[in-house]
């Protein structure tokens, strides 16, 4: 499971306003009628950290061990794509062809 | 040394054996066997066998990527047969084995032997060789062939792609005709163009590439970069070679550390302990991101405190506050709340050193302990819950939830003085908060401070104009004040109060209470009734009812027409049947008036119970429950006065759910007689109904668990089992809770410190935790102290205990 901060894509030291903005963005991305499960996850995350005392509470008492699946999901998240060079592209294409 | 005896060539192999090798897929052995057989005799059957063995072995080697060997075997077979079985495969093997000119020659000379599809397929394969810049192939193919002409466009598209010029790339790709040998390649490149921002489209492009296409493997590799997480995906990624990893790294924007972390995670998937997870995060912190790794490791420490050292070596030395916070959370997870409390206390003390910026943190820690105590340690909560909540308000005095919790705690624990006081404090602090106003209003009503209740209700109605409870309390407060005035004979003022109360009734939802009160006021003012002192016995009540003759009744009605009219209207609005009757009884009782004098005036004696309909039972139950909530204490008597009507309704067959609600209500009022009667009656219709069995027995033993006979206890156990089986958890729990009273209801059955005073338990738990933390090195002074305490309590300490 991701942390509420990760779900909303905000840093730990964020503000109420930024959290609200991130939440609204996310629910536009996952409207409840189209993606109810994801919407619920976003909603729960928002409810957990929407105010400063709630964030402080989360930081003080949160002790949920991240599951191995969480770790896997986190590590599989995309970064900023690199430039694909001709060399890598061609070599990989030919390698896959020879393996087929 | 003796010479080896010469064995005849075919002595070790039989045709059956050769055929068996072939059937079992042992192609090498089959080849050898047929060769040996053919040396003895050139039989067609054995030649065919050898040809088959060559072909199948060639296929099997090609599947393992041994294309050169496959080519040789196919050619061996071609020497034995004229047909060109797997010819297109053979050309494919030639291509991938690097024998390009042989492949091109064959294609030129034998195109007639190949189907159109096979030919196209081989063209696609040659097309791939163009990407390699294979001069042998490029020069061998006619410059007019689509393979060459289209490649020129593809090359331009690729240049644009490498330069990140998506639009130009797409324009070139659109020039490639549908039947081009580069069709599948176009799909690949289109997918790569959109993969960063539209994974669904990328997925659609890639899925259009057929599984038989030479580009299928490449498409599968690209698909891995957009596949959602699964263990299978992790396994596939972990098995990629370096080249494939580099390719995926580019598409996903990963660095080289990412695959190291993926492999570590994959390895731990079936053995994920807290320790493993901590180590994976620490060893791959670059891949996870230092902030994420540190944050996640911090969350692991309470359940794996041995990781603290590794954490500190990797990230930073933990502050004293954090160390104690981790220990507190650690013991909380183990439900060792006394020890957790000790660590939280240290945390609070640390924070108090710089109180102002840490006020909220302190308050949150104190409130957190309350939550934990409520969740796990009911026996501790009595002492600490109010203490922690009150203290937390010193640090954060505006927390609504905290006030509500505190007020509720005092209310639930019947500590009336603190309940009323804290409701007052809360409303002073948060005078416009509707929830606070609501509890303050309830508290004021409970302490019969009706003026205050009215004040809060009016404020609440300003904040929340449709709040029904506020309306009810405002109305009830005016009525209560009217009752006070009636006691001193201030009838006009009381009348005014009732008029004010009427303003809080909704025109469409009149309860009849106002009219009943107004009627009673008139009768009191006219001297027909007066409040009685003490209780009127049931016998006297019956006598009073019987003592009024019909002539007297008529006279009275004629003398007080307005009062009678008001009472009758009130009863009608209240529901006429049992509801009206009940309201009348309660209203009379509130003013200590004798109901029996009023009854005959407004109630047609014979038909009263018949007017009551079954649905009213549920409303009556709700009404009684609402009165219980308001703290009215004469409800047992009020119900007692209506028992005949209630019994008639029950006898006229009540729906099961309504009967169960009624039984539950009787249990709440501790009206054991009626409870037993209703349950017994219900059991006639719903035999063996677990809840009814319970209510019947509960009524018989008058709610005293110690009066249960063995037979009754057995019946209750059976009923609980039956309820469980029927999925009626509520009844099962209700029975269990009752029966458990017999066994004392131990919360911590394995608690070794059972029956010891709390302070000793607290101290002992802390000492045990200290011993664990210091691996047995306990402060001798402390040990002696606790031993002394135990001895004072009369607990015998064995001689083997050190420091004794």
User: The domain containing residue B714 runs over which residues?
Assistant: 653-749
Please compute the mean of the pLDDT values over residues B352-360 and round it to a whole number: 94
Out of B64-68, B133-137, B328-332, give the one with best mean pLDDT.
B328-332
Q: Does B9 touch chain A (CB under 8 A)?
A: no
Looking at the fold, whether B756 and B700 belong to one and the same domain comes out as no
- Mutation choice for B interface testing from A7, A76, A95 by most B CBs within 10 A: A76
Pick the last residue of a domain from B124, B146, B168: B146
Looking at the fold, whether B64 and B135 belong to one and the same domain comes out as yes
Quick check: A56 and B360 CB within 8 A?
yes
Task: Report the gap between the CA of A11 and the closest CA in chain B (Å).
Answer: 10
Least confident of B412-426, B542-556, B570-584: B542-556
Size of interface A-B (CB pairs under 8 A): 152
Residues of B in contact with A93 (CB under 8 A): 128, 131, 215, 218
Cα-flanking dihedrals φ and ψ of residue B92, to 5°? -60, -45
Asked whether residue B579 is domain-assigned, the answer is: no
Residues of A in contact with B65 (CB under 8 A): 98-99
Looking at the fold, whether B743 and B756 belong to one and the same domain comes out as no
Closest by Cα among B517, B538, B621, B542 to B579: B621
Looking at the fold, whether B32 and B135 belong to one and the same domain comes out as yes
Asked whether residue B507 is domain-assigned, the answer is: no
Model confidence at B608: pLDDT above 50: no
Model confidence at B7: pLDDT above 60: no
Longest Cα separation, chain A: 59
> For position B156, what pLDDT does the model report?
94
Looking at the fold, whether B27 and B98 belong to one and the same domain comes out as yes
From B296, which residue of chain A is nearest by alpha-carbon distance? Answer: A66
Looking at the fold, whether B128 and B142 belong to one and the same domain comes out as yes
For residue A22, the surrounding DSSP H or E stretch is: helix A16-29
Task: Report the gap between the CA of B23 and the closest CA in chain A (Å).
Answer: 26
Question: Rounded to an integer, what distance in angstroms lies between the CA atom of residue B758 and that of residue B778?
Answer: 22
N-to-C CA span, chain A: 38
Residues 6 or more apart from B468 whose CB is under 8 A from it?
none
> For position B759, what pLDDT does the model report?
63
> For position B335, what pLDDT does the model report?
86
Cα–chain-centroid distance for residue B335? Answer: 21
> For position B606, what pLDDT does the model report?
47
How would residue B357 be classed by pLDDT, with cut points 50, 70 and 90?
very high
Please compute the mean of the pLDDT values over residues B772-776 and round it to a whole number: 65
> Which one is predicted more confidently, B282 or B574?
B282
Model confidence at B749: pLDDT above 50: no
Model confidence at B135: pLDDT above 90: no
**Cβ burial B218-240 (10 Å sphere, 16+ → b, else e):** bbbbbbbbbeeeeeebbebbbeb
Asked whether residue B441 is domain-assigned, the answer is: no
For B633, which DSSP code? -
Least confident of A28-42, B314-328, B411-425, B601-615: B601-615
Residues B577/B578/B579/B580 CA torsion (nearest 10 deg): 60
pLDDT tens for each residue of B638-684 = 888 888 888 888 887 788 888 999 999 999 999 999 999 999 999 99
How would residue B23 be classed by pLDDT, with cut points 50, 70 and 90?
very high
How would residue B39 be classed by pLDDT, with cut points 50, 70 and 90?
confident
Question: Rounded to an integer, what distance in angstroms lies between the CA atom of residue B22 and that of residue B353?
Answer: 86
Looking at the fold, whether B671 and B800 belong to one and the same domain comes out as no
Please report the residues numbered 201 through 260 in chain B whose beta carbons come closer than 8 angstroms to any beta carbon of chain A: 214-218, 221, 225, 229, 231, 233-234, 237, 241, 243-244, 246-247, 249-255, 258
Model confidence at B768: pLDDT above 80: no
How would residue B789 be classed by pLDDT, with cut points 50, 70 and 90?
low
How would residue B575 be classed by pLDDT, with cut points 50, 70 and 90?
confident
Domain boundaries, chain A: 4-99
Task: Report the gap between the CA of A67 and the closest CA in chain B (Å).
Answer: 8
Please report the residues numbered 68 through 127 in chain B whose beta carbons come closer than 8 angstroms to any beta carbon of chain A: 96, 125
> For position B376, what pLDDT does the model report?
75
Model confidence at B320: pLDDT above 90: yes
> For position B612, what pLDDT does the model report?
53
Q: At which residue do the structure tokens 């009787």 appear?
A: B666
Residues 6 or more apart from B720 whose CB is under 8 A from it?
B690, B731, B732, B735, B736, B739
The domain A4-99 is placed in CATH, from the list 2.60.40.10, 1.10.287.110, 3.40.50.300, 3.90.1010.10, at 1.10.287.110
Tell me if residue A73 falls in helix, strand or coil: helix
Cα–chain-centroid distance for residue B360? Answer: 28
Please compute the mean of the pLDDT values over residues A85-94 and round it to a whole number: 90
Looking at the fold, whether B37 and B140 belong to one and the same domain comes out as yes
Model confidence at B453: pLDDT above 60: yes
pLDDT tens for each residue of B184-215 = 999 999 999 999 889 999 999 999 999 888 89
Please report the residues numbered 6 through 65 in chain A whose beta carbons come closer than 8 angstroms to any beta carbon of chain B: 6, 12, 52-53, 56-57, 60-65
From B218, which residue of chain A is nearest by alpha-carbon distance? Answer: A96
Number of domains into which chain B is organized: 4
> Which one is predicted more confidently, A18 or B528?
A18
Closest by Cα among B262, B278, B250, B279 to A75: B262
Asked whether residue B216 is domain-assigned, the answer is: no
Quick check: B253 and A97 CB within 8 A?
no
From A73, which residue of chain B is nearest by alpha-carbon distance? Answer: B229
Task: Report the gap between the CA of A48 and the closest CA in chain B (Å).
Answer: 14
Looking at the fold, whether B700 and B791 belong to one and the same domain comes out as no
Least confident of A17-21, B469-473, B580-584, B788-792: B788-792
* pLDDT over 90, % of chain B: 44
Least confident of B226-235, B357-366, B793-802: B793-802
Please compute the mean of the pLDDT values over residues B88-112 and round it to a whole number: 84
The per-residue pLDDT of chain A, averaged, comes to 89
Looking at the fold, whether B769 and B741 belong to one and the same domain comes out as no
Which residue in the set B287, B292, B303 is minimally distant from A65, CB to CB? B303
> Which one is predicted more confidently, B128 or B72?
B72
Burial of B47 (0-12, 13-18, 19+ CB in 10 A): middle
Pick the last residue of a domain from B294, B317, B340: B317
Which residue in the set B217, B237, B253 is minimally distant from A96, CB to CB? B217
Looking at the fold, whether B662 and B781 belong to one and the same domain comes out as no
What region does B43 belong to: left with phi over 0, alpha with psi -120 to 50, or beta? beta
Please compute the mean of the pLDDT values over residues A35-44 and round it to a whole number: 92
What region does B177 belong to: left with phi over 0, alpha with psi -120 to 50, or beta? beta
> For position B614, what pLDDT does the model report?
67
Which residue in the set A56, A85, A94 is minimally distant from B131, CB to CB? A94
Looking at the fold, whether B720 and B757 belong to one and the same domain comes out as no
């Amino acid at each position: 499971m991701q942390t509420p901060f990760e779900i909303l894509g905000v840093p730990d030291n964020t503000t109420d306003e930024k959290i609200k903005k991130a939440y609204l963005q996310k629910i536009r991305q996952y409207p409840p009628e189209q993606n109810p499960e994801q919407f619920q996850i976003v909603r729960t995350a928002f409810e957990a950290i929407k105010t400063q005392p709630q964030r402080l509470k989360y930081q003080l008492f949160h002790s949920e061990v991240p599951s191995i699946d969480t770790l896997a999901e986190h590590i599989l998240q995309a970064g900023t794509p690199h430039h694909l060079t001709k060399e890598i592209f061609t070599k990989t294409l030919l390698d896959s062809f020879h393996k087929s | 040394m003796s010479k080896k005896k010469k064995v005849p060539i075919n002595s070790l192999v039989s045709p059956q054996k050769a055929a068996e090798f072939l059937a079992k897929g042992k192609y090498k052995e089959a080849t050898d066997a047929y060769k040996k057989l053919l040396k003895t005799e050139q039989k067609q059957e054995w030649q065919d066998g050898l040809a088959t063995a060559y072909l199948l072995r060639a296929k099997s080697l090609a599947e393992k990527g041994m294309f050169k060997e496959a080519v040789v075997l196919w050619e061996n077979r071609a020497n034995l047969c004229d047909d060109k079985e797997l010819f297109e495969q053979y050309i494919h093997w030639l291509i991938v084995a690097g024998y390009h000119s042989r492949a091109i020659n064959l294609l030129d000379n034998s195109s007639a032997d190949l189907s159109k599809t096979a030919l196209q397929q081989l063209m696609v394969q040659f097309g791939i060789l163009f990407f390699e810049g294979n001069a042998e192939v490029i020069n061998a193919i006619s410059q007019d062939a689509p393979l060459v002409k289209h490649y020129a466009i593809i090359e331009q598209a690729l240049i644009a792609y490498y330069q990140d010029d998506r639009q130009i790339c797409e324009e070139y790709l659109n020039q490639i005709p549908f039947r081009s040998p580069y069709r599948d390649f176009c799909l690949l490149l289109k997918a790569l163009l959109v993969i960063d921002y539209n994974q669904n489209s990328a997925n659609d492009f890639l899925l259009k590439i057929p599984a038989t296409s030479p580009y299928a493997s490449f498409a599968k590799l690209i698909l891995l970069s957009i596949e959602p997480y699964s263990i299978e995906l992790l396994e596939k990624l972990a098995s990629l070679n370096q080249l494939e990893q580099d390719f995926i790294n580019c598409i996903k924007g990963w660095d080289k550390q990412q695959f190291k972390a993926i492999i570590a995670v994959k390895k731990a998937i079936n053995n994920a302990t807290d320790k493993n997870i901590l180590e994976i995060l620490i060893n791959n912190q670059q891949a996870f991101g230092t902030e994420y790794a540190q944050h996640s490791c911090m969350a692991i420490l309470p359940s794996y405190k041995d990781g603290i050292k590794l954490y500190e070596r990797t990230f930073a030395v933990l502050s004293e506050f954090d160390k104690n916070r981790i220990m507190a959370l650690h013991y909380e997870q183990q439900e060792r709340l006394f020890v957790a409390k000790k660590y939280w206390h240290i945390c609070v003390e640390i924070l108090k050193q710089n109180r102002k910026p840490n006020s909220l943190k302190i308050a949150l820690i104190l409130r957190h302990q309350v939550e934990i105590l409520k969740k796990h340690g009911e026996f501790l909560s009595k002492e600490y819950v109010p203490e922690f909540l009150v203290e937390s308000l010193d640090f954060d005095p505006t927390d609504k939830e905290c006030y509500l919790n505190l007020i509720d705690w005092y209310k639930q624990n019947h500590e009336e003085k603190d309940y009323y006081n804290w409701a007052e404090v809360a409303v002073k602090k948060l005078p416009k908060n509707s929830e606070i106003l609501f509890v303050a209003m309830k508290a004021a009503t409970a302490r019969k401070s009706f003026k205050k209740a009215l004040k809060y209700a009016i404020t609440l109605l300003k904040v929340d104009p449709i709040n029904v409870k506020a309306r009810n309390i405002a109305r009830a407060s005016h009525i209560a004040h009217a009752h006070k005035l009636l006691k001193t004979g201030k009838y006009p003022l009381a009348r005014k109060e009732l008029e004010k109360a009427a303003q809080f009734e909704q025109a469409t939802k009149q309860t009849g209470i106002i009219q009943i009160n107004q009627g009673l006021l008139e009768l009191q003012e006219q001297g027909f009734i007066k409040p009685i002192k003490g209780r009127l016995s049931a016998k006297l009540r019956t006598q009073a009812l019987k003592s009024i003759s019909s002539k007297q009744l008529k006279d009275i009605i004629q003398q007080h027409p307005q009062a009678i009219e008001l009472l009758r209207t009130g009863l009608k609005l209240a529901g006429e049947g049992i509801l009206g009757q009940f309201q009348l009884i309660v209203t009379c009782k509130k003013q200590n008036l004798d109901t029996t004098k009023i009854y005959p005036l407004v109630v047609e004696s014979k038909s009263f119970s018949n007017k009551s309909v079954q649905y009213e039972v549920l409303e009556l139950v709700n009404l009684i429950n609402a009165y219980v909530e308001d703290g009215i204490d004469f409800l047992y008597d009020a119900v007692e006065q209506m028992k005949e009507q209630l019994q008639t309704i029950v006898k006229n067959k009540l729906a099961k759910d309504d009967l169960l609600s009624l039984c539950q209500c009787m249990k709440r009022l501790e009206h054991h007689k009626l409870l037993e009667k209703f349950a017994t009656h219900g059991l006639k219709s719903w035999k063996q109904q677990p809840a009814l069995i319970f209510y019947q027995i509960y009524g018989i033993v008058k709610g005293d668990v110690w009066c249960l006979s063995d037979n009754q206890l057995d019946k209750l156990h059976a009923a609980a089992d039956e309820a469980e089986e029927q999925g009626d958890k509520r009844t099962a729990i209700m029975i269990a809770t009752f029966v458990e009273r017999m066994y004392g209801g131990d919360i911590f059955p394995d608690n070794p410190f059972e029956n010891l005073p709390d302070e000793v338990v607290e101290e002992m738990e802390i000492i045990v935790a200290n011993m664990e933390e210091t691996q047995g090195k306990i402060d001798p002074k402390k040990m002696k102290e606790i031993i002394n305490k135990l001895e004072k309590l009369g607990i015998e300490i064995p001689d083997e205990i050190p420091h004794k």
